Amino acid sequence: MCFNYQNGELFAEGVDLKEIAKQVGTPFYCYSSDKLTRNFEAYQRALAPFNATVCYSVKANPNLGVVSTLARLGSGADVVSAGEMFVALKAGISADKIVFSGVGKTPYELEEAIKAQILQINAESAAEVETINRIALSLGVKANVALRVNPDVDALTHVKITTGKKENKFGVDWDEAHELYRAAAKMEGIRLAGIAVHIGSQLLDLEPFRLAFTKIAGMVRELEAEGIYLENIDLGGGMGINYNVELPPTCSAYADVVRETLGDLGKHIIVEPGRSIAGNAGVLVTEVIYTKKMGQKNFIIVDAGMNDLVRPAMYDAWHTVLPVTKEGVAPIIADIVGPICESGDVFAKDRIIEPVQQGRLLAIMCAGAYGAAMSSIYNFRPLVPEVMAHGREFAVVRKRTSYEEMLSGHAVAPWLQGNAL
C-alpha cells in the first residue's frame, strides 16, 4: 500500500507524514506518485485490447504535479474549462489527446480549443454546435466535434453527481440527437469525430454502464446506416472507489462491459477516469487544535476546514480518518470538526477513533480527488500546500498561499483612498 503504517507511523510511500508536517506545516495534501501510476496503468492494461485513450479527468485534481505525473505515463486529458486545458498542455499532454467536455463552454473557450486542434469538443446542445461552427468558419478550419448524448440512464449514485438522466442538465436529449447529427454533418466548420456519454460519478455497479453503452452502440449503428461515420466513442468516467466499505468494480470488469457492448464496432475508445485515478492517491493531513466534551459528545477540533475539503459538507461523504501516529489505546466515539463558522464543518460524525490530544496529527484518507480541486479561501483561509511523495523523497507541488498573495488581486476603490474619515 502507498499509505501504510511503519512502526506505528503513517507513511506516504517511503516518507513519514509527520516529517512532512514538520517541514511544510498543517494542513497539507499529500499525493502518492506510485499510487497515481498504478491506478492509471490499471486502465491501460485493461483497455489494451482496444484502440483506447485514457484521458484523465483534470477536474478531479488539476495540480500540475499530478497531471504531469500522468502525462509522462501517456495519459490524455478530459477538461471542462480553458484553465484545465492550459494545465493539461503545460503538463505536457499533447492537444490531440485532449477532449473538452462541459455544458457551458464560452465562445472564448471554444475558440481556444479549436485553435489548439484538440482531439474533440464534446458539444452538449444545438446552440453550442452552431457556435462551434461559426467560430471554426471564422478561423478557416474545421473543428473536431462529438455530441455528448444523454441516454436517460440512472447511474445509481449520489443525486448531485448523477449526470445521465433526462432531468439532468448534461448532454443532448436522446430523442433529438439524430437530428442534430444530421444538421452538424452539413455544417462546413464541423468535422464529426465521435459520440460521447457520461452518466455520473462514483459508480459502484457496472449495470448502468452496460445500459448506457448498449444504447450508444445502437445509435452509432443507426447513424452509420445513414452515412454518418464516427471515429471515437467517448465513454466518460464514473468508476467509483472504496471510501469506507464499498466494493467498486475493477478496471478489467469495466473493460469486459466495453467489450460486450462496443467491441464489434472497431472504434477508438476514450475513457475519462478522474476519481478512480487520483482519489485514493491522496490524503489530507491535519493537526488537532483542541479537544472538548459537551455532555456525552466528544469533539476533536482540527486545523483543516470545509474550505480545504468540502466533500463531507456537500455530499455527506465518508472519509476514513486515521491517526498519523498509532498509540494503540482504547478508542472513543467523537466528531472530527474544523474551525469554520458553519455547523456543517464536520469531517466525521460519531467516529470510532483513538483519543488524540492537542498537537497530534490525523490523516483524512482518499482525499486525492475533489479535495484541493474544490477548496476555497472561505473565512479568508489560505489554500493549503500540496505535496507529492515519490519513494523516499517528497516535493511541494503547490505552496501555501500567503495573505499578501490572497489580496494580490484586490483593490481599494478610489473614493476610499486617502485620509480615513
Q: Give percent of the chain above pLDDT 70.
A: 94
Task: Report domain extents, the chain.
Answer: 3-30+279-406, 33-275
| Rounded average pLDDT over 310-330 | 95
Mean pLDDT of the chain: 93
| Confidence at residue 158, expressed as pLDDT on a 0 to 100 scale | 53
Q: Give percent of the chain above pLDDT 90.
A: 86
CATH topology classification for 3-30+279-406: Lyase, Ornithine Decarboxylase; Chain A, domain 1 (2.40.37)
Cβ neighbors of 31 (< 8 A, separation 6 or more) are 12, 61, 63, 65, 66, 278, 281, 282, 368, 386, 387, 388, 389, 397
Residue 199's pLDDT band (boundaries 50, 70, 90)?
Answer: confident
Distance CA(121)–CA(306), nearest Å, equals 34
| Rounded average pLDDT over 359-375 | 98
All three cell numbers of 262, joined, read 462496443
pTM here is 0.94
Residue 169's pLDDT band (boundaries 50, 70, 90)?
Answer: low
Q: Which residues are catalytic?
A: 341
| Confidence at residue 418, expressed as pLDDT on a 0 to 100 scale | 76
pLDDT beyond 80 at 112? yes
The DSSP secondary structure of 261-304, one letter per residue, reads HHGGG-PEEEE--SHHHHGGGEEEEEEEEEEEEETTEEEEEES-
Any alpha helices (H) in 335-408, and if so which ranges? 403-406
Yes or no: is domain 33-275 CATH 3.40.50.1220? no
DSSP, res 217 = H
pLDDT tens-place string over residues 267-312: 999 999 999 999 999 999 999 999 999 999 999 999 999 999 999 9
Distance CA(418)–CA(421), nearest Å, equals 9
Helix axes 174-185, 126-139, angle to 10 degrees: 20
Across 166-244, the runs of DSSP E, i.e. the strands, are: 172-173, 190-196, 232-234
Cβ atoms of 256 and 210 within 8 Å: the answer is no
pLDDT beyond 60 at 421? no
